Amino acid sequence: MKKIAILGSTGSIGKQTLDVIRNLGKEEFKVVSLAAKSDWETLYKQSLEFDPEIIALYDRKAAFELRKILPNKEILEGEEGVLLASSWASSELVVSAISGTLGLKPTIKAIEAGKDIALANKEALVSGGKFILELAKKKGANLLPVDSEHSAIFQCLKGNAKNEVSRLIITASGGPFKNRSYDELDSISYNEALKHPTWQMGPKITIDCSTLMNKGLEVIEAHFLFDIPVEKIEVVIHPESVIHSLVEFIDGSMMAQMSRPTMFVPIQYALTHPERKKGLLEPFNFELFSSLHFQKPDFNRFVCLKLAFDALKIGKSMPCFMNAANEVLVERFSKNQVSWLEIGNKLNKLMDAYEPIAIHSLDDIIEVDNEAKRIALTY
């Protein structure tokens, strides 16, 4: 039996992780720790079903409410509570699914505790990159990708040497605006940007998908996860989202990992790796996906994707700065303070004016993150 901690259990990835665990059965997994931001009502229901040893909430008022109806359960609060839940002694695998920089510290704390990480939080590798990988190696913590694209590459690379790889090809649905002309992009509303054609996700990641920043962050993650130079990583628009990513080898052959659009497969593979278990999907229906389409992304319309490639090439703290500034600009877009096009245009100017530094510690990451957010808040 594998003992699991889930950070962000009330979000999309967290809930689907519990769906996978429920399907595989209690003889396979035991949930020992649950953590979330503020949704105490969902945590209450999860606790009744999975009976974790510990629960943590960032929001102290939410923790107070939960204690009233779970008086016999240990419920921690604040950042210190979530950090303890992330490194809970009995856990073996930590599902890191708290989005944004809020999930960065708990992920690092779990790595420091030597836990294996099922990584759904993008900020760890985007912001920390080399520092995170060196820490994981030092502590003996394995990083198992949960993003469907990285899980696909992870599966395709199994049994193949790095020097045999010619290209990593990361697929993107293209979001809701892949066919909009440049002139039509400036009038995009927040509600329009939330209507993703394929996936149901939280608001921040959905907006990032509309600008293709989410795909840019995945490029940065792929570089660090698989130690492949940026020159060998490409993005292709694939609206059906059936091929989750591909690896091209030096002999010209390609391997693709495919399934219908779902997060159940990558989540389950991270939980059961290196084994495979019976999953939640029905057999693939080829009639529903009789045609697959591909096209190159347009960097002129989707500036954020180009900026992510640029940040990775520049290196040092630039990816961290870019990620944090983008987070603020997306929040400002949600409040109608900037337009959809301005997310990329303002981010471009902010990056041009920023002088990156080397990242050696968590404190360095936090310093860069805070600086980027402060500047982007009023720019």
Binding-site residue set for 1-deoxy-D-xylulose 5-phosphate: 122, 148-149, 173, 196, 214-215, 218
Question: In the 8-state DSSP scheme, what is residue 295?
Answer: B
Short-list 367, 379, 360, 377, CA closest to 321 = 367
Q: Using an 8 Å Cβ cutoff, are 187 and 92 in contact?
A: no
Phi and psi, residue 111, nearest 5°: -65, -45
Short-list 318, 316, 342, 319, CA closest to 329 = 342
Instruction: Pick out the residues of the known binding site for Mn(2+).
Output: 147, 149, 218
Cα–Cα distance measured from residue 31 to residue 63, given in angstroms and rounded to the nearest whole number: 19
Q: Using an 8 Å Cβ cutoff, are 120 and 146 in contact?
A: yes
Cα–Cα distance measured from residue 23 to residue 254, given in angstroms and rounded to the nearest whole number: 32
Residue spans of alpha helices (H) in 40-162: 40-50, 60-69, 78-86, 104-112, 123, 130-139, 148-157
Q: What is the layout of strands, in order, in the sheet containing 93-96? A: 75-77, 54-57, 29-36, 2-7, 93-96, 116-119, 143-145
* Token pair belonging to 273: 């790796």
Which helix (H) or strand (E) segment holds residue 307: the answer is helix 303-314
Q: Where are the beta strands (DSSP E) in the chain?
A: 2-7, 29-36, 54-57, 75-77, 93-96, 116-119, 143-145, 165-172, 233-237, 243-249, 254-258
Short-list 176, 207, 189, CA closest to 347 = 207
> How many residues are given for the chain?
379
Sorted by sequence, the CB contacts under 8 Å of residue 148 that are 6+ apart come out as 244, 245, 263, 265, 266
Name the 3-class secondary structure at 239: coil
Instruction: Pick out the residues of the known binding site for NADPH.
Output: 10-13, 121, 123, 202
Q: What is the DSSP string of 118-131?
A: EE--SHIIIIITHH
Instruction: Pick out the residues of the known binding site.
Output: 10-13, 121-123, 147-149, 173, 196, 202, 214-215, 218
